[in-house]
Amino acid sequence: MTTPDLAAPAPPPIILKRHVRAADYRERALESVARAEASVLDRVRERHEAAAARWRELAALSERVAPTPSQPLRRGARTTSAIQGDEDLPCIA
């Protein structure tokens, strides 16, 4: 009987496309906030603040786990991805 090698490195964590998208959306939200703070005109500031809110909402939606085929959708429920089958594919970076 052999003992497992405790010094062996752990496998790298799996990065899913939805996590990459969510991080990208959060970065865009931060950029919009910075533009809003730098804006002199109220109307322009409001547009950048609205854009930041939309990017944050998209990030939250991207992080949700979509139902698998074994989990049927509730009547009237919506999926988080417009592309079917794209929800939890590993990201090759």
Domain count, the chain: 1
How does residue 13 score in pLDDT terms, banded at 50, 70 and 90? Answer: confident
How does residue 26 score in pLDDT terms, banded at 50, 70 and 90? Answer: very high
In a domain, 44, yes or no: yes
Which residue segment(s) compose the domain that 30 sits in?
17-63
In a domain, 6, yes or no: no
Cut 0.85: pTM above it: no
Residue 6: is its pLDDT beyond 70?
A: no
Q: Give the model confidence (pLDDT) of 45-69 as tens digits.
A: 999 999 999 999 999 998 887 666 6
Per-residue model confidence (pLDDT) at position 91: 53
In a domain, 50, yes or no: yes
88 against 49, higher pLDDT: 49
Which residue has tokens 């698998």?
A: 68
Residue 37: is its pLDDT beyond 80?
A: yes
In a domain, 48, yes or no: yes
In a domain, 90, yes or no: no
39 against 10, higher pLDDT: 39
3-state DSSP of 16-84: EHHHHHHHHHHHHHHHHHHHHHHCCCHHHHHHHHHHHHHHHHHHHHHHCCCCCCCCCCCCCCCCCCCCC
In a domain, 29, yes or no: yes
In a domain, 73, yes or no: no
In a domain, 74, yes or no: no
Angle at 32 between CA 55 and CA 93, to 5 degrees: 60
